[in-house]
Amino acid sequence: MSKRVLALSTLAIVLAAGGGAARAQSFFEGKTMRLVVGFAPGGGFDTYARVISRHMGRHIPGNPTIVVENMTGAGSLISANHLYRVAKPDGLTIGHFNGALFLGQALGQPGIEFDARKFELIGAPIKEDSVCALTRASGVTSVEKWMASKTPVKLGGVAPGGTPDANARILKAALGLPIQLVSGYKGTAEIRLAASSGEVGGACWSWESMRSTWRSALDSGEVIAVLQTSARPFPDLTGVPLALNLAKTDEARQLIKVGIQNAAAFARPLALPPGTPKDRVLTLRKAFQETLKDSAFLAEAEKAKLTLEPATAEELEKMVAEAFALDAALLAKLKDILYK
């Protein structure tokens, strides 16, 4: 290629990129964006979304305002269906819901009205590696006491397919833990209140969320972490056993790996409706990645004790595709456990 042709090609690319940025700025400038959270205020999803919303707009051309809206119900399924079927695909509506619903679609979960493979994914701030925590008042202060309990321990849940529900159902099936799932709460904030009142003994959900939103009860010893479902122990929970190490069969280990650990990897997505213009998708992906490096954002996340373990849109897309390629027999077993 001649130097003249190379120079002209480079100029064309620069002009195209500049034109894309200009179009993005002209579209987003003066606009208000909605970040729709599928759970109630005060929980982990809501907390992460509000911190992100306060900083991401600075990294979007035109500096739009981002407001958080809560659309609760069915473990965030209502908000996911809304994003797919109702929200206008113009780049102004971002959804933040339980990505375990993607596995739910592969399992044939009732009520799902979307195709996970058609969402335009932006990324995720963190994985959903979970911990089961119970109140001291429940009498269960260790997994050994839980195993020995003569009555089922009540755990709070949100809806079929929700992270607290999936953890409870799979741990009961894989480890034989005595569990009674009490579902229907609008989010982990409501579960915490139910635990405080003695309505349930506790629940299993993201440790990063739990240690931020349930901090005072954990510090006082009113609430105790008794079991981790992650592949590796959290640095601040080295003495708390891993569920995988308690599994006694290959099937039990496989259920925990696929149903809990793999689902945790894409459980906190930020997504756009199908059909959102590609230039706006790319603009928002870039803005999200820049937000994760923003010093003001990082300072607020640290103050709120929010750990970041982000995943890119490309990583999420790969994991979603893998969920639809799982062994049919394993999918059938998980479906029976999670939805029967």
Strand partners, 34: 67, 93
7, pLDDT greater than 50: no
Q: What is the mean pLDDT of residues 178-204?
A: 96
Q: What mean pLDDT, rounded, does the chain reach? A: 91
Which tens digits make up the pLDDT trace of 33-48? 999 999 999 988 999 9
Same fold, 3-127+265-339 and 130-263: yes
Inter-residue contact 121 to 128 (CB < 8 Å): no
Helices (H), the chain: 3-28, 44-56, 77-85, 100-106, 143-148, 163-175, 188-197, 207-213, 215-220, 243-246, 250-256, 263-265, 278-291, 295-303, 313-323, 328-339
Confidence class for position 13, pLDDT limits 50, 70, 90: very low
What is the pLDDT, as a whole number, of residue 178?
98
Which tens digits make up the pLDDT trace of 261-309? 988 878 899 999 999 999 999 999 999 999 999 999 999 999 988 889 8
User: To the nearest whole percent, how much of the chain has pLDDT over 90?
Assistant: 78
14, pLDDT greater than 50: no
What is the pLDDT, as a whole number, of residue 10?
44
> Is the model more confident about 163 or about 134?
134
What is the pLDDT, as a whole number, of residue 216?
95
Query: Under CATH, what is the fold of the domain 3-127+265-339?
Result: D-Maltodextrin-Binding Protein; domain 2 (3.40.190)
18, pLDDT greater than 80: no
Question: What residue segments make up the domains of the chain, in order of their start?
Answer: 3-127+265-339, 130-263
26, pLDDT greater than 90: no
Which tens digits make up the pLDDT trace of 65-88? 999 999 999 989 999 999 999 999
Which tens digits make up the pLDDT trace of 144-174? 999 999 999 999 999 988 899 999 999 999 9
DSSP-derived pairing of the beta strands 93-96 and 270-272 = antiparallel
What is the pLDDT, as a whole number, of residue 23?
61
The alpha carbon dihedral of 228, 164, 269, 246 has a sign of positive
Least confident range of 10-24, 38-52, 65-79, 190-204: 10-24
| CATH for the stretch 130-263 | 3.40.190.10
Confidence class for position 12, pLDDT limits 50, 70, 90: very low
Residue 207 dihedral angles phi and psi, to the nearest 5°: -65, -40
